[in-house]
Amino acid sequence: MDSENVLEKVNAMCKNTLMETLGIRFTEIGNEQVSATMPVNSKVHQPLGLLHGGASIALAESVGSMASLLFIDSSKFEARGIEISANHVKSKKEGWVTGIARNIHKGKTTHLWEIRIVDEAGDLISICKLTNIILPKKN
């Protein structure tokens, strides 16, 4: 697949969604991996001026869900998140974070993704696990 063309389409799909609101931009689509960045600024802060854990989870679910969507036949199936868990290990006040989704299990009916959220220095901010269910599309 032409990754630049796919990235353009994926980012265009995010128009008028939470991903656009949070400034999430997909940056890499590879074999069994998808990455996206998100700015850390007042839009994603909690009251103490730190990256909100919910914003990190939104990044993780966005990246992991898009990964499942890209790795299924989307004309026949759709992917939906059914469980997400996160551990936040470091705070972040400003800059950028990147969510990197890597496949742990890709079955016929479920996908399991590990999403590592890192900062510009590569330091781990959060680590998440997302389970998606793969459903047949309804006509």
**What does the pLDDT look like over 46-63, one tens digit per residue?**
999 999 999 999 999 999
Instruction: Summarize the confidence of residues 60-79 as an average pLDDT.
Output: 96
Residue 2 pLDDT class (50, 70, 90 cuts): low
Asked if 61 is an active-site residue, the reply is yes
Q: Which domain holds residue 26?
A: 3-136
- Sign, CA torsion 61/94/46/125: positive
pLDDT for 3 equals 67
Q: What pLDDT does residue 4 have?
A: 77
**Catalytic: which of 4, 28, 61, 120?**
61
| Mean pLDDT computed over 110-119 | 98
Mean of per-residue pLDDT scores for the chain: 95
Domains of the chain: total: 1
H helix intervals, the chain:
3-13, 18-22, 53-70
Quote the pTM value. 0.94
Domain of 99, CATH number, reads: 3.10.129.10
